[in-house]
C-alpha cells in the first residue's frame, strides 16, 4: 500500500527495531514507547484497521495474538501485559495499518477511555 508508514517499515524502506518476523507478521519496537515494553505487532498484508476485518482476512489476528503471547514470555512480562488496537479517528488510530500495541514492564494505568 503506497504511502503507508507500516508498509514502508515492512518493505525495509523505513528502519525499525524488529523483535519478531515471519511470512505474515512483523513486530517491532514503538518509536515513542508508553511503557518499558512497547511493541507493535502488524500483519504484513495491509489491512486498514480492526474495522476492516472480515472472514477472509481475520485469521492473521489469531496468529498475532499467538506471537504476542510468545513475545510476552521472551520479554519477561510474566506479571501481565496489555494488548491494544486503536480504530479510526475517535479510537486514536494515527497509522491506518492494523496494529496491536503490546505494552508491559510496569503496572499499567487502568483508565480505558
Under rule CB under 5 A, which residues in 89-108 are in contact with Zn ion? 97
Q: Which residue's entry shows cell 511470512?
A: 23
Give the Cα separation of 107 and 8 in Å (integer). 33
If binding is defined by CB under 5 A, does position 7 make contact with Zn ion? yes
Exactly one of 19, 93, 98, 103 binds ligand AMP (CB under 6 A); that residue is 93
Give least dist CB 20 to ligand AMP, A: 14
Encode burial over 94-108: b for 16+ CB neighbours within 10 A, e otherwise.
eebbbbbbbbbbeee
Give the Cα separation of 86 and 76 in Å (integer). 25
Number of residues that bind ligand AMP (CB under 6 A): 12
Catalytic residue, from 38, 46, 99, 101: name it.
99
If binding is defined by CB under 5 A, does position 4 make contact with Zn ion? yes
Helix H or strand E encompassing 40: strand 37-43
Residues that bind ligand AMP (CB under 6 A): 5, 14, 16, 30-32, 40, 86, 92-95
Amino acid at each position: 500500500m503506497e504511502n503507508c508508514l507500516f508498509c514502508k517499515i515492512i518493505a525495509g524502506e523505513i528502519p525499525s527495531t524488529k523483535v519478531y518476523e515471519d511470512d505474515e507478521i512483523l513486530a517491532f519496537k514503538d518509536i515513542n514507547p508508553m511503557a518499558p515494553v512497547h511493541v507493535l505487532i502488524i500483519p504484513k498484508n495491509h489491512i486498514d484497521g480492526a474495522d476492516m476485518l472480515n472472514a477472509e482476512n481475520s485469521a492473521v489476528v489469531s496468529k498475532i495474538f499467538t506471537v504476542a503471547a510468545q513475545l510476552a514470555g521472551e520479554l519477561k512480562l510474566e506479571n501481565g501485559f496489555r494488548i491494544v488496537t486503536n480504530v479510526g479517528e475517535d479510537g486514536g488510530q494515527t497509522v491506518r495499518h492494523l496494529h496491536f500495541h503490546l505494552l508491559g514492564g510496569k503496572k499499567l494505568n487502568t483508565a480505558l477511555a
